[in-house]
Structures are given as structure tokens and as C-alpha cells.
Amino acid sequence: MSILKLKPSCKDYLWGGSRLIKEYGKEYEGEVLAETWELSCHPDGPSVIRNGAYAGKTLPEYISGEGRQVLGTHCRRFRDFPILTKFIDARDNLSIQVHPDNRYALKNEGQYGKTEMWYVMDAGKDAFLYYGFQREITKEEFAQRIREDTLLEVLNAVPVQKGDVLFIESGTIHAIGKDILIAEIQQNSNVTYRVYDYGRVGKDGKKRDLHIEKALAVTNRIPIVRKNSSYPHAADCDYFTVDKLNLDGRVMQKLSGKVSEESFASILILDGEGTISDEREELAYHKGDSFFLSAGSGTYTIEGSCDALVTTIREKAAQVRIGIDIGGADTRIGLVDVHQKLIAWKTVRTNAMRPAKEVIQEIGQTALSLLEEQGIAMEQCVGAGIGVPGTVDRKNGVVRYSNNIKWEDVDIAKEMGACLPIPIYIANDADCAALGEAAAGAGRGCEDVILFTLGTGVGGGVILDGSIYEGSGISGSELGHMVIVENGEPCTCGRRGCLEAYVSVPALIREALAAAGKELTPEEIFAAAKEDPVVKEVVDTYIRRLGTGIVNAVNIFRPRLVILGGRISEQGDVLIKPLEEQLRQGCFGGEKSGIPEIRTAVLGSHAGMIGAASLI
């Protein structure tokens, strides 16, 4: 099923009329029908599917059942369904109102703000609407005129007629006037700050609430310059692109379009009748109908006579991603652009003794402040990736267990989503470091990479075909816990003989202490090996055991590149040269099968942030 005919959710606000019932055939038992939410996944009124296997189900239920791929790749940047489409019948004047932008709404309302467009379907002879101010006014004058009931004197009254289009950005004060019928496409938000309501009372006999302080905080008090044309589209912004479709039934009787994998298509029939079809089905349409065409459904054909609005979601310009690298001591939060460049970053103490929810909230608030400091609007941010030490369930966004930060079964995607209402992705921190080096570091341009991090422990990640290799489980690859010595030294994981038990920093220090009788740093150990044969044997054994682990991983995954990161990797060629020889001797098939190159990581502490951002 690729063409869904939708039944709207109906709203009976006090200013509404009856045209949507009488002229557009909307099914509603009341006499006043102000709005119909024709394409909606909003919890205040979702659309219901009329046809096919999902008949009687809501549009959100369809998306959940079929998967988010039905929305298209351009919708990946949205956590929620991006738009809400309405018919509005204004028998009387709507209240004077304003919508906040995303930044303000997220901070104060916990949801996105609202930018919208209006298409005037019909209007009375003297119909007009309010659109911004006649002149620039101060915040003080704005407040005074609200108090003194003189606000209408400075608002810009715009006469309208059928076919007019107005684009209302967040922060624009506005109102639909009486005797106007409108099709509205907007961000999927229901946040409205009412400034003036003509003294009317609601069904409860009380005056409706005003939101003056919030309106004063978000309203643009400079006159709006209305564009005469939005060619080639009726409206176009980061949230929606709207195109007008017209068939007169004579000269133009048939038109075909294509729904690619990039975006779904919403077709809102303003007038006329005919059929809409694809290779699988044909449906009749009439004035007022609404259709949802799933992404990737291919070619469709509309025949008959109609005026319609077709809405899609385009690719976002200047995308920014948030990359978060959570460590036992510190957490790094960075902003990464489309070129894998780290724009800016901050470091905060993880302090894992606090409740996980508190830690996550601080990280989220820090990410928001970083966006604000860089002058980057939330709508530019297409998602956040998080690298977490331990065992993570990437599919469900849950940290199953992390010894480093003492977390168990923490739903980090849900908790972070409360601060950052954008798609949230998670992965193991070592996997993120590997992905970062593959995307922007020593492995740039190489899709098959293995990273070994040689530090307090031995971590690592496997990147195959440009993506993190996870296997069928939730823990991904644990390169540091392959056994290289049967019944060998105890490992931090509780087993014996693991690679980590022999080539981590503590392991190297332990072996040097046992051999030389004194505790040395890794740097001192490698320096002493140049003159002390006892210490040299420690280093040679260390490199040989590391080589055993690398050879094992190479023979299993067959990468083109091996990258060494962490503190010990700073030894460079002292490590790499003998490891290259060990690879030549130990790789199955030798030169004929292709021996991978070994390089040192170059991104340092930035790798985890860039890799986390690359999860998106």
C-alpha cells in the first residue's frame, strides 16, 4: 500500500464555520467545524487511514508498522513526523497570535516551535488577515498597546483573495480574518501564544487565556517584507516544500509525478474530482481529500480536474550533527559539519556517581548551550550521536551495562531526547572512535578499518563497508577480549589470557616491574628498551603479543587498514615496523591476499565525537 487516503481529526473552535461540512463533505456531527487536521501525527489529533490493510488505523500506527523508511531519507533529521496539514474555516476572526521559534519552544515548551504557510482557498469581498506590524515598534510599546487594547492599530492588515500565499515564519504576529478559507501547512507543533482575542469567552463562559509575557519574548517587532513570488515553489523552507498542482480537465487532464526514496508526498485536494493511481491501485478523489504517498513508492498519476497542494521534505542545507563521547571521567560534546569537521566542542565532568538522568540532562543542556554560543539554530541540527563505554543496545538506544560509569539499563536515547528533540543514536565508545578515524582521520577514504586503542584497557572497533560491525548481538566486537594465551593472566573481564591482559598500559607496566624490579611509565619503558636488554625483551614480547591479536583480527575481518590509538600508539614506528613484519608472516594468504597497512590514529580525543556524529 503506497497511496493512503486519510480521514482528518476535527476541531470545533468558537470562531469556526460550517463550510468544511457542507462544501467539503467532512464527517462531523456538530454544527461548527473550525479546522480539520488532514495530515497529522500529532497526539492532539492524528489522521486515520481510510483504505487498505491499515484502514481504521492512525497514520502514526502505519508509520510504526511499516518503519520510518516510508517517510524518506530527508526525514531522518526529525525525531517526530515533520509537518501538520490543515483546512481552516474562519467564520469569525481568529485571535492575534504568535508562534515561538524552535530554540524558545524547546526550552520552555518541550517541543518545536512553528513556521507555517497559508494558501487562501476562498475569501470574502472585504476579507483580510493580520501579518506583522505596519512599522517597527519597541517591546515597551508592544506591551503597552496590549494593555490598552490598541494593538490592532499597529498591525499590518493584508487584503487577500483566492490563490494568495503567505509564509509565516516563527516570531511573526498574525491572525486569519473572518470569512476566509485556508489550507495550512506547518511544522508539527501546537504551540501558540495568544496576544489578543477581541474579549471573547470560551465554552466555559470565561475569557480565553492570553500568553503575553511569552509573546513579548518571541515576537519579531520589525515589519515583514512579503515576497511577491516564491518561484519555483508555493513555499519552501527547511521544514516543508509546497508545490501547486492544477488540472483544468480540458487542456490539462492528466499529470504524473514521482515519489522518490528521499521524501513522502502529501497531496491535499483543494478543488475538483478525478482519480489518483500508481502501478498497484487507483483511488477516486474529491474536493477536500487528503492523500499520503510513502517514500520510494515511485510514479503516480492524477487525472481529472483539480487544484491541489503537494508537500514534500527537501534536504536540509548546512546540516550540523552533535557528537557526544561519554568517558568515565570526562564527556566531550562537539558540533560536526557535513565535511566531518569539528566546529566547536566542550568538555564536562562525567561524575558518574550522580544519577544517570542527571548526567544526561547536563550533557543535553551543554549541547544546547554550545549550539547557542555558535549561533546555530536547532533546526540546523539533524541528530545527535552518543558514544558510551560498555555494552550498548544500539537498536533500542539503551546502555545495558557500563562498568566505567556505573550504568545499567539506562534508556539514554529517551532521556537525551527530552533535552534534544532530534534523532538520537548510540554506540560503544570504541566503535565510535573507530568510525571517527575511518570518517575523518587516519582511515579517511577507507571503508574497511580495524582500530585498536591501547590505553588503560584495550578497546577497538571494526568498520566494514563504512559502518560499525556489530554482529547479531548488542555488544559489538570486543577486540581486547580475544584470548591469546590459554589460561594466561587474569583479565578485568573475569576471564584469563585476553589481549587486554597483555597489551594494555597496566599490563606493560606490570611486566616491566616484574622484569626490571621498578615501576616505569610506558614512555620510560620504551626509552629504556633501547639500552637495557631486560626491558627490551619486555617490549619485544609486548609487541609480539599485540601482533598476535592484530593478526587474528585481520584474518577474520580482512580489513584494508589497521589503526593504532591510545597512549602506547604514540611510540609510532617503534611499534609499527615490527608489527608490519608480523602481519606479513601471519596473515593468511600473505602478499597474495593483500596485507593491510598499519597507521597511527590522528584525531586523538576528537575521534569519539566525530565518530558519534557519524552514526547519524
Which residues belong to the active site? 194
225: Cβ contacts below 8 Å, ≥ 6 apart: none
252-288 b/e (C-beta count within 10 Å ≥ 16 → b): eeeeebebeebbbbbbbbbbbebebbbeeeebebeeb
- Prior bond to 232 cis, omega within 30? yes
Q: Where are the beta strands (DSSP E) in 146-297?
A: 155-159, 165-168, 174-175, 180-187, 193-196, 235-236, 241-248, 254-259, 265-277, 282-286, 290-293
DSSP state of 208: P
Question: Could you give the CA distance from residue 280 to residue 249 in angstroms, rounded to a whole number?
Answer: 24
Cβ neighbours around 163 below 10 Å, total:
14
Which residues lie below 8 Å from residue 379, measured CB to CB, with a gap of 6+? Answer: 102, 238, 239, 316
Cα separation, 437 vs 463, in Å, equals 10
Q: How far is Cα 568 from Cα 504, in angstroms, rounded to an integer?
A: 8
Nearest to 422 by CA among 217, 259, 262, 238: 238
**Which grid cell sits at 443?**
582511515
Q: Do 288 and 269 touch, CB atoms closer than 8 A?
A: yes
List, in sequence order, the alpha helices (H) in 4-74: 19-22, 59-66
String of b and e for 569-595 (b: at least 16 CB within 10 Å)? bbbeebbbebbbebbeebbeeeeeeeb
**Strands in 99-154 per DSSP E:** 116-123, 128-133
CA-nearest of 515, 517, 529, 513 to 571 is: 529
Q: Round to whole Å and give the CA distance between 415 and 378.
A: 18
Distances (CA, A) of 406 to 21, 107, 108, 328: 59, 29, 31, 9
Q: How far is CA 223 from CA 88, 140, 226, 554, in A?
A: 25, 16, 9, 65
What angle, 0 to 180 degrees and rounded to 10, lies between the N-to-C axes of helices 573-586 and 533-557? 50
Q: What angle do CA 322, 325, 331 make, to 5 degrees?
A: 105
- Does residue 193 contact residue 97 with C-beta atoms inside 8 Å? yes
CA distance 569 to 561: 15
Cα separation, 347 vs 340, in Å, equals 19
Distance (Å, whole) CA 517 – CA 519: 7
- List the Cα angle 298/64/58 in 5-degree steps: 90
Bridge partners for 453 per DSSP: 459, 565
- Report the SS3 class of residue 217: helix
- Cell (9 digits) for 346: 566542550
